Amino acid sequence: MSIRQRTLRAALWLALSAATAPLVCASPILDPSAPNAFVMYGISSVPDFTGQFPTGYFLEGMAISGENLLVSVGTAVNSRYQTIWSMPLIRTAGHITAFGSASLFASVDTGGTQGNPLSGGLVTINGGVLYSTSTYSYFGQFLGSPTNTDTLTDIQGVANSVGGMNYIPTGQTGAGQIKVNSTVNGSWYTLNLTGSPGTYVYQGNTAYNVNVPALSFAYLIPDSTFTSPSVAIGNGTNIDVYTLDSAGNPCNGVTCAPVVHLADAVDSLIGFGIVRDPVTGDILYNTQSNQVYVLSDDIGEVPEPSTFALAAGGIALFVIRARRR
């Protein structure tokens, strides 16, 4: 399984620093074994941040706040601060089909001056966000207006580097706990915290050796397709869905339900960030070439291709319609 581990990430940042033109990569594909109901399409109007980051950038963690997508942008610049952006959601038949103009949501501390890009963890809290960093294991908390302050904590005991971060949802075992994972060794961790969101104090962690590396992850509410509590992960090569074990980790063993593959990378890593749309239940993820895709099992309401200008590159909307029931 190809994942962006620490050495791979370092190579990507090195290549990114030297790049003089944007990446042009083939689009990901719907996995042949994906449930029959699923379709996949690319979001149109994905903002181009080249003007903001001329040395190159990667879209990283994603979160939905109201009717806006928040996305962290990782850059190769040796700077203590990195940025999170907000983009209005544009919907058709309820589904997200485009983004409005991007505006700066926050400039957040990532520690040091040698570059520690943001990673796949981004969670909304009371007008602010929790975020994770990629090269070194830090956990950040940004309080929104009116304070606009942030704190950064070294998550001691968590193997470098952190991929995703999220709360276990209400109704699932361990609800309210915060999970992070390591892209290096596939371990998952429950962060032992005191205090409240935005002012958490780190008290250590509980580690689980589940051997499931991930760049990002999003918990799924049980529905007609995934009837058990599950988690969707992006690991660079695939977007996969695992059922959960009793501690809220992806269940990876002989007693677990089989892993469901939803999407496959072609020549560009996928799943740097992943988020579930609370309105439709669709799964959004991004790619190394800074595209955003939607996976939906609600084919009765997915907009027809003729509604939009289509483009093979995936920046304008295209729809892959797989085996209908």
Q: What is the pLDDT of residues 197-243, one digit of tens each?
A: 999 999 999 999 999 999 999 999 998 899 999 999 999 999 999 99
pLDDT at residue 38, rounded to an integer: 94
* Reported confidence tier of residue 150, pLDDT bands at 50, 70, 90: confident
Spacing of C-alpha 212 from chain mean position: 15
pLDDT at 80: 84
Structure tokens at 268: 């560009």
Residue 111 has pLDDT above 90, yes or no: no
Least confident of 20-24, 303-307, 309-313: 309-313
- pLDDT at res. 7: 39
- Tell me if 71 sits within 8 A of 107, measured CB to CB: no
Question: Strands, DSSP E only, in 4-56?
Answer: 29-30, 39-42
Residues 221 and 175: their CA atoms lie apart, in Å, by 12
What integer best gives the mean pLDDT of the chain? 84
**How high is the pLDDT of residue 15?**
38
Tell me the C-alpha distance between 93 and 300, whole Å.
10
Q: What is the pTM of this model?
A: 0.86
SS3 134: coil
On whether the 6-18+29-321 domain is CATH 2.120.10, my answer is: yes
pLDDT 10s digits, 157-174: 887 779 999 999 998 888
Number of H helices and number of E strands within the chain? Answer: 1, 23
pLDDT attached to residue 114: 65
Q: C-alpha angle with apex 149: 146 to 155, nearest 5 degrees?
A: 145
User: Tokens 């409005």 identify what position?
Assistant: 100
Mean pLDDT of all residues in 90-103? 96
Q: In 3-state terms, what secondary structure has residue 15?
A: helix
- Structural contact between residues 236 and 212, judged by C-beta atoms closer than 8 angstroms: no
Task: Tell me how far apart the alpha carbons of residues 10 and 236 are, in angstroms, rounded to a whole number.
Answer: 15
pLDDT exceeding 70 applies to what percent of the chain? 83
The domain spans of the chain are 6-18+29-321
Q: How far apart are the first and last CA of the chain?
A: 30
Alpha helices in the chain (DSSP H): 6-18
State how far the Cα of 53 lies from the Cα of 104, in Å rounded to an integer.
Answer: 13
- Provide the pLDDT for residue 308: 36
So what's the pLDDT on residue 24? 56
Give the separation between CA 283 and CA 298, rounded to whole angstroms: 11
Q: Is the pLDDT of residue 316 over 70?
A: no
